[in-house]
Amino acid sequence: MRTIKTALTLFLFVFSAGLYAQDVQTQQEEVVREAGHTNQNKFRQLYQEFSTPNQYRTASGAPGPAYYQNEADYKMNIELDDLNQKITGSETITYHNNSPTNLEYLWVQLDQNIRSKDAVSKLKDGNGIAPVAQPAGFVSEYMNEPFDGGFNITEVSKDGKPLAYTINQTMMRIDLPTPLKAGESYSFDIKWWYNINDHTIDRGRSGYEHFAEDGNNAYVIAQFFPRMAVYNDVEGWQNYQFWGNGEFALPFGDYEVNITVPADHILDGTGVLVNRKEVFSKEMMKRYEQAKKSYDKPVLIVTQEEAEAAEKGFSEKKKTWTLKAEKVRDFAFATSRKYIWDMMAVDLGAPGPEGDVMAVSLYPKEGNPLWEDFSTKVVAHTLKSYSAHTFDYPYHKAISVHAQDQGMEYPMICWNYGRPEKDGSYSDRVKYGMMSVIIHEVGHNFFPMIVNSDERQWGWMDEGLDTFMQYVAEQEYGEEYPEDIAPNTKYPSRRGEPSKIVNYMKGQQDFIAPIMSNPENVYQLGNNAYGKPATALNILRETVMGRELFDHAFKTYAQRWMFKHPSPEDFFRTMEDASAVDLDWFWRGWFYTTDYVDIGVKEVKKYFITDKPTKEGTAMLKRYGVEDPSQLDVLYVVEEGSEEMDPAMKGKTPAENAPTLNEYLMDNFTPEQRSSMKMPKYFYQITFNKPGGLVMPLIVEYTYADGTTEKVTYPAHIWRKNDMEVSKAVASDKEITKVVEDHDLKTADIDVDNNSWPRVKEAGEFEEFKRQNQG
């Protein structure tokens, strides 16, 4: 006797098996053969790529019970020689060994040695001669005597007695008379001087700009002192040389710095200005008190008129500015008699005015009117936006300094480009370029100044995360200040939108390195360490995880690693740990490979249901041992247009075409139940193929004959058993007239010509999309 259960099982079985008639074995072989598709499951966990979790760093991505970090405190006296562009300094470093091991020697970073006359880093590239060059670069490369800007170390000592040391390019090993024991501290002194470079010529991250018209210099000074290297559980000593691209790995510490400059200079830098009353005039003090209460617009501490008056002099007198900073990983300052100075208060929600942060800008008159209109306001917005997504900005100020062609970050202070024409006019490109670089560099306070990743090894951990947050903050700026951007438009972000990374992703794969690469070893650092990770995270937020899960996990990462040293795994693991979204496939594809996204709609087939046996259905039943299908209640599917398709079936529901199904419904459901059932007229098999190596969710828009549309997102895991192509069965009571994959360009699909069925042949909407991509 035929049972209802058998009939139902076979109905489902034949229906689905009929649609997926291809032999699984054959598909697997195809997968192996196809270029760009590895023979390993893309959803396997990242056990091989990730370091083993341990007592220092747990499998959840949080610091472990044995986590430690060493610290370095600095007391420094610095003097700037404005006449000769020279800097002289002495420092006492107190190094705290919080590690469980004894240290026989200490490594100190001498980054300025990249500018030594005989620096090996100048010989590192094998690219030959470039077909185009900027005149300034050409002169410095081929025509000038090499500039000698390396450190001159004049003393390394402990209590007045010399210490043995060895300099290897940009690293200095100090040999300790007896090992520094676990848990103990060691203080020693270093004295040095060096010639400051003109950063407008050699593109260094710090230096001075000379203004020929008034004869003055504006200094943005960083990497100016011998700095402790990081010692930790991941690298031991991070003493990978500074070759120029990989930025910095630095321990946290407290700083007390006295900086002596000409008396007519204005100066600001990392830390609290502790002798404000000595270096400010009465008028400046009064304005400063006003600025602390001004939450809507900046207050000028030094006006343009005053700065222009100062430009005309050159004081022989000196003035010392004292700055103190706690829990910072570095120290930098800017100084010039050309600076205009403004500030406003930012309320991040901490109680009382003491909890407020000051947004600050320093700029020569050459930056106006752009800088007085936007800089400090953008700093304030950045602090609010980033704080909302991470943690409240913990320092008391953030300074944006205008420096030609610069975009570089330090704790509490950064240098930014964006200069109007001589007549004060500026293009939108200059304006948004300036706002964006300020958001980016101020944003670096969060990554890596506070979430203190190892920039020397992993450029993307600070640049990628910061560029992602920059995109978020830019879009939020557009919402907060629509009057500052063109009406009814989004903030014109240069990076972050999926379409903007397409050209890089589809570029010559041989010349693309995975994101998980050292910054020295990639061809296009801007795309590799900034654009691609930022876009990946934006896609992760908008398309894979959703904002709620992503934002919580991202904030968890920021808060777990605030004032600590995270590794890539700590980020990857936390994002999963805090969201319950399996992301191994995402990290592997986007961060560990150079695969790109290319997903298409291969074909759409329409089917009808019938009781009449089909050849394919009968053959299938035979394979499963059913010799006489007439003994079973089964349904068959028949493709529209095939010989076996009875034209009378068209437009009828399955129950109308298949009495077996109708009987089944009548026998097993009440009229009420039947009336609440869907009664589809059409069955489709839609096959999606994936020429690209990256797996991504399928975001499909179905258009029906009545003009209505429906969007369905199938999770990326749809690719877990077949990396080449997948088919979906869709039951519908309306005829499907169009299927479009990734209609809104959310996945960085590199070829959208194959994204629609029927294929769009003439210049249609995708041509339009492609034009937008080129922007």
Taking the least distance from each CB to Zn ion, the nearer of 463 and 598 is 463
List the interface residues with Zn ion, window 562-581 (CB under 5 A).
none
Residues in the chain: 775
Query: Smallest Cα–Cα separation from 95: which of 249, 242, 254, 240?
Result: 254
Residues 76/90, Cβ–Cβ less than 8 Å: yes
Residues 688/741, Cβ–Cβ less than 8 Å: yes
Query: Smallest Cα–Cα separation from 600: which of 424, 742, 709, 432?
Result: 742
Taking the least distance from each CB to Zn ion, the nearer of 256 and 463 is 463
Q: Which residue is nearest to Zn ion (CB)?
A: 463
Nearest distance in Å: CB 512, Zn ion: 20
Go through 21-54 and write b for each residue having 16 or more CB atoms within 10 A of its CB, e for each that does not. eeeeeeeeeebeeeebbeeeebbeebeeebeeee
Taking the least distance from each CB to Zn ion, the nearer of 463 and 569 is 463
Nearest distance in Å: CB 500, Zn ion: 17
Measured between alpha carbons, how far is 304 from 373 in angstroms, rounded to an integer? 13
Nearest distance in Å: CB 474, Zn ion: 14
Strand 171-180 with 164-168, pairing: antiparallel
Stretch that binds Zn ion, among 297-305, 459-467, 674-682, 750-758 (CB under 5 A): 459-467
Taking the least distance from each CB to Zn ion, the nearer of 372 and 463 is 463
With both helix axes pointing from N to C terminus, report the angle between 370-389 and 459-480 in degrees, rounded to the nearest 10: 110
Q: How many residues in the shown chain lie near Zn ion by CB under 5 A?
A: 1
Taking the least distance from each CB to Zn ion, the nearer of 153 and 472 is 472
Nearest distance in Å: CB 466, Zn ion: 5
Sheet holding 207-211, edge to edge: 207-211, 216-221, 333-336, 266-269
Taking the least distance from each CB to Zn ion, the nearer of 321 and 477 is 477
Stretch that binds Zn ion, among 34-42, 133-141, 461-469, 736-744 (CB under 5 A): 461-469
Nearest distance in Å: CB 501, Zn ion: 17
Nearest distance in Å: CB 436, Zn ion: 11
Taking the least distance from each CB to Zn ion, the nearer of 433 and 617 is 433
Taking the least distance from each CB to Zn ion, the nearer of 463 and 633 is 463
Residues 466/493, Cβ–Cβ less than 8 Å: no
Stretch that binds Zn ion, among 6-14, 316-324, 455-463, 563-571 (CB under 5 A): 455-463
Nearest distance in Å: CB 462, Zn ion: 7
Query: Smallest Cα–Cα separation from 753: which of 501, 763, 503, 532?
Result: 763
Query: Smallest Cα–Cα separation from 681: which of 705, 701, 697?
Result: 705
List the interface residues with Zn ion, window 643-702 (CB under 5 A).
none
Stretch that binds Zn ion, among 357-365, 448-456, 463-471, 733-741 (CB under 5 A): 463-471
Taking the least distance from each CB to Zn ion, the nearer of 209 and 463 is 463
- For residue 655, give the H/E element and its range: helix 654-657
Nearest distance in Å: CB 70, Zn ion: 25
Give the Å distances, CA to CA, from 257 to 160, 518, 538: 21, 33, 40
Nearest distance in Å: CB 440, Zn ion: 6
Stretch that binds Zn ion, among 131-139, 195-203, 460-468, 752-760 (CB under 5 A): 460-468
Nearest distance in Å: CB 537, Zn ion: 15
- For residue 407, give the H/E element and its range: strand 407-410
The distance in angstroms from the start CA to the end CA of the chain is: 68
Stretch that binds Zn ion, among 308-316, 462-470, 482-490, 734-742 (CB under 5 A): 462-470
Taking the least distance from each CB to Zn ion, the nearer of 356 and 463 is 463
DSSP 63: B
Residues 557/16, Cβ–Cβ less than 8 Å: no
Measured between alpha carbons, how far is 149 from 258 in angstroms, rounded to an integer? 22
DSSP 516: S
Stretch that binds Zn ion, among 193-201, 273-281, 456-464, 627-635 (CB under 5 A): 456-464
Measured between alpha carbons, how far is 232 from 181 in angstroms, rounded to an integer? 15
Which positions touch Zn ion (CB under 5 A)? 463
